[in-house]
Amino acid sequence: MPDNLLLAREGQTALITINRPQVLNALNSQTLVELEQALAEIRSDVTVRVVIITGAGEKAFVAGADIGELAALSPSKAQEQARRGQRVFDAIEQLGKPSIAAINGFALGGGCELAMACTIRIAADSAKLGQPEVNLGILPGFAGTQRLTRLVGKGAALDLLLTGRHVTADEAHRLGLVTRVVPATDVLPNARALAAELAAKAPIAMQYILDAVHRGGDIPFDAAAFLEASLFGLAFSTADMREGTRAFLDKRKPAFKGE
């Protein structure tokens, strides 16, 4: 059993809870290892269609990396740790299934980077987000400079990265850093409701959408459009496509099987 996170299944949804509330769910090496293992398990489980990631307690989603651990790293070990975190967060983005960050409190540093790796971010109205690494004399290491820039644009990203300031959930929403803002008590219920909605969609189509968006954003437009057309064609080879079109014509809800 993992020591630093909880993994539960709720129907077709997997719920991952970073469970270190005594240190505001700070990410250390062990937590990253456990998170990577949980993601591998979820990826191979065809019964799981959506993932929710949240933090234990009421104060923090993930308040950052474990500073005590970071302070002891040599330059080479720091680079290794950054690459480990990048690999784990890439695994979230490349899961082939939608992921929802249920941001129930502070999402700072590595916590903000974790949230940004998710497909959709739902934040409590009391949440605070930011990349304050500059105040420690370092910079984000888990691809925060890259995902933040892609989400909010270069100017806003540089503002947040260079000042290290925290932003409210409302400002994060205006910037495009979070997708939805809800009352704190509604974060998990809202995430669960969205997960149930997504779980009813066609899994292969969602996988292709995620692939087209993530891969397409890093290549020239013509190549990205060709990728989209290729995936569009592949979708027509699926039983889900036949079910979806037949259900539309029959005026009923489709029952997708991921086939």
| Residues recognised as catalytic | 113, 133
Are 111 and 86 in contact, with CB atoms under 8 Å apart?
A: no
CB proximity list for 95: less than 8 A, separation 6 or greater: 39, 42, 43, 51, 210
| 141, 221 contact by CB (below 8 A) | no
Nearest to 167 by CA among 126, 206, 219: 126
